[in-house]
Amino acid sequence: MDREKGLKEPFIAREGLRIIVPSLVLTAVLVIGGFFYLAIFVFCFALFCLYFFRNPRRYSNADTNSLLSPADGKIVDISEVNEQEFFGYKVNRIAIFMSPADVHVNRAPCPGRIKSMKRVDGKFAMAFGKNAEIKNEKNYILIENGGERVLVVQIAGFLARRIIPYVKVDQRVDRGQAVGMIAFGSRVDIYFHKEYEPVVSLHSRVKAGNTILARKKEVQ
């Protein structure tokens, strides 16, 4: 995403403001009322939310033949899977686990149009666990650009009970644009055509809208 558009994004995710502002107001009321210890507790909670809901500016000079990470976190799986619902054939998948300490705003790995979105109810097992992408609650965001498809899947975790999309079907998005967030520890998977080759390794750390995950293979 270019700098001009990036500057329009708030430094704090919108969901966080709904918690932080009332917490700060309550802190002031408690101080005035003489409840200092309780005020300190509420103020510390507000500081934690300020940190958790942070939305740092992200820019990348990546070329159009690359895909950016949709999430901050650690790569827990790189594999080929048979994805039938949105692709109908084998594709590459990279899974990224977000700990509570990571930024939880998710970003578009490429420019394009939101072709479809689908929310699926499920469990809230550990997001890094086996088959979490099958068992857990999730939200599918399919991005289409010039005939190419990239699928971003927001997966709820044990602590993460809220998946919040920022986009709608038919909306156009820029590379690196915020497309949603997941509250607390969770996971984001990205599915893409095999003509793109992963350039990251298992357990490496990545940043949404900044780290290049895959590049298009050169035509021989």
Q: Which residues are identified as catalytic?
A: 186
The set of residues, in sequence order, having a beta carbon less than 8 Å from that of 215 and lying 6+ positions away, is: 65, 66, 67, 196, 197, 199
Residue 31, exposed/middle/buried by CB under 10 A (0-12, 13-18, 19+)? middle
**What is the rounded CA–CA span in Å between residue 17 and residue 36?**
23
Cα(2)–Cα(59) distance, integer angstroms: 6
Q: Which two tokens stand for residue 93?
A: 């998948």
CB 210 within 8 A of CB 130: no
Beta strands in 84-145 (DSSP E): 89-98, 105-107, 112-120, 138-145
Give me the sheet containing 196-198, strands edge to edge: 66-68, 212-216, 196-198
